[in-house]
Amino acid sequence: MPTADCRLKIHGLPIGDCRLTDWGLSSVAVPWVQAKVMLYFLYVNIVFHEAVNGPIVVPPAVGPQPIDAVFADKIENDPIIAAAVEKIKKLTEILGTT
């Protein structure tokens, strides 16, 4: 099992006149198992939120770039990366972030 933790970095988004606000970087490290469980519960909450309120629309400018573009030069030569890219494509379809 990997020993490195998942590090979550959090930035503030300054809106309007925010001169008195410190928008520095915060971060927290969590074990990978905990990160995966957190992902599950976050997704469950998104599913219920959308069931009650309708779909969350992710503007194209905010969504991630196509994963194929990120690993284009490695997909053909590395079966591990190719399998990971396929999982990520399914996730982007489920989340509607394509």
pLDDT band at 16 (very low <50, low <70, confident <90, very high): low
Neighbouring-strand partners of residue 26: 10
- pTM metric for this prediction: 0.69
Is the confidence at residue 98, as pLDDT, over 80?
A: no
Residue 14's pLDDT is 60
Maximum distance among all Cα pairs of the chain, rounded to whole angstroms: 51
**Helix residue spans in 11-66 (DSSP H):** 32-53
The 10s digit of each residue's pLDDT in 40-95 is 999 999 999 999 999 998 888 888 888 888 888 888 889 999 999 999 999 888 88
Task: Please write the tens of the pLDDT for every residue from 18-27.
Answer: 555 555 677 8
Q: Which one-letter DSSP state was computed for residue 18?
A: -
* Residue 24 pLDDT: 61
> Which tokens hold the place of 74?
């490695």
> Residue written as tokens 């995966």?
36
Q: Do residues 23 and 11 make contact, with C-beta atoms less than 8 angstroms apart?
A: yes
